[in-house]
A = this chain, B = another copy of it.
Amino acid sequence: MRTILGLMNDQSDIRERVLDVARAAKRASRSLATATRATKDAALHGLADALVEHADEIIAANARDLERGEANGMKPSLLDRLRLDHARIDAIAAALRELAALPDPIGEVVRGSTLPNGLKLRQVRVPMGVVGMIYEARPNVTVDAAGLALKSGNAVILRGGSAAASSNEVIVDVLARALKAQGLPPEAIQSIDAYGRAGAVELMRARGLVDVLVPRGGADLIQTVVRESTVPVIETGVGNCHVFVDASADVEQAIPIVLNSKTQRTGVCNAAETLLVHADAAAGFLPPALAALGAAGVTIHGDERTAALVPEGVAFVAATDEDWATEYLSLDLAVRVVDSIDAAIEHIGTWSSGHTEAICTRDLRSAERFTSEIDSAALIVNASTRFTDGGQFGLGAEIGISTQKLHARGPMGLGELTTTSWIVHGDGHIRA
C-alpha cells in the first residue's frame, strides 16, 4: 500500500514539475511571439557561437553517452548517429546560422479584405506558442528543434532519447544560457529529460499549455505519442515508399531511379522499400535492375513472378504480406510484378504509409493517374523518392516530414510551426 501511494506521489510530483516547465514555456513564448526578426536572428547567431565555444564540454558529455551506449550493446549505426565531434558541432552551428538567413514567417498577412460593411479583415501568421518535441538519440535534433522554434517565435520543450541524455543536458544548458545572454527568456528552450518516460507522458497530456507535439523517430515512438497524446500531434516520418515501373518506362532511366531510391541512404524515411513492376516491363527491366541492386548489396524479397527473373548470385527470399508492410530501413527491397497501373495503385493504397511514391513512365495518362489517384504526401514522376525533403524542396530547414493530412503534409519548414490570427478593425460595427 505504501508503495502504491509512493508511486502515485511520484507521478503527481512529476506531473507538477512538467506542468511548471510548460507554464514557464508559455510565459516565455509571449516574449518570443513579439520578438522582431532582428532579435531572433541575433539570438540564433548567439546560440551558434555558444555551441562552438562550449564544444569541448559537449563532446565530453557525449563521450559519456557513447560509453554507456557501447556498454549497453548499442548498434554501430546508432552509435554513429549519437556521436558528436568538433566537425559535427560546427555543422550544427552552421545550420543555426542558415536558419537566421531564412525569411521570418511571423507577421505574414495570409489573406485580407474589406468586407461589404466596411470591417477590415486580415489573417496574420503568428507562432503556435509552445512546441513539444519527443525524439530519439540524435543530439543534432535538439539544436535543430530549438533553432526552428526560436526562428518561428515559439518556445520549445524537448524530450530526447535517454541514450543521449548527457549530451542533451549540456546542449540545452548552453542554448538556454545563450538565449539569456541575448536578452530572451531562457525558458524558451527547456528539456524534460530529467523526468523520464513519466515526464514524456505528462507532456503529451499538457493540453492548453503545449500547442503541438512533434514526435520524431521510429514507428513505435510515433505510434505511442499518437495514442497517448491529448495535445495535437503531427505524425512524422514513417516511410513505406514505393517505386512503380510502368509498362512504358525507359529502362535506362528507371534503373538508376530505383537504385538511388533504395541505396543512396537506407536508414531514412524517403528511401524506397517496395518496387512494383508492370508485367509488360518485367522481362526487360527486372533482370538488369535486380542485377544492379544485387551488386549494391540489396536482398530482394520477391513474389513468384519476380523469383522467375532473378539473376544468379542476387540474394533472394520469397515475399509474404509482411514484406509489403515493412519499412526495412536497410539493404532489403520488396519486389512485386503487377498486371496494370490499377493494380499498382491498389497495392500502394493498401500498404503505403502515405509518404512518397514514384512512377517511372513515358505515358502521360499513367503519370496523371498516378499523381491524382494516390493519397500520399509526395508523388514523383521519373525521379528518385529521395527528393522528398525540406532542403531538396527549397523550404530551408525541416522539422520533420508529416505523413498525416491535418495542418501539414510532407516536409515541414518554419511555416508549419505557425498558426494564424484573424484581426478585425471596425468603427462601432454591430451585427444586425
Binding site for B on A (CB under 8 A): 30, 33-34, 113, 115, 119, 121, 123, 126, 128-129, 207, 211-212, 226-227, 230, 232-234, 250, 253, 256-257, 259-260, 264, 349, 367, 371-373, 375-384, 386-388, 392-394, 404-407, 409-411, 419-431
Contact = CB atoms under 8 A, between A and B. Distances in A.
A379 B422 contact: yes
Contacts of A426: 380-384, 387
Given A115-B392, A128-B405, A226-B207, A379 B424 contact: yes
B427 A382 contact: yes
A394 to B, nearest CB: 6
B431 A378 contact: no
Contacts of A227: 230
B428 A381 contact: no
Contact of A250 (B212, B392, B428, B429): B428
A383 B428 contact: yes
Q: How many copies does the complex hold?
A: 2
Contacts of A260: 430-431
Given A230-B227, A409-B420, A381 B425 contact: yes
B226 A405 contact: no
Contact of A115 (B119, B394, B406, B410): B394
A382 B226 contact: no
B422 A388 contact: yes
A423 B371 contact: yes
Given A207-B226, A378-B422, A393-B121, A384 B253 contact: no
A406 B256 contact: no
A259 B430 CA distance: 9
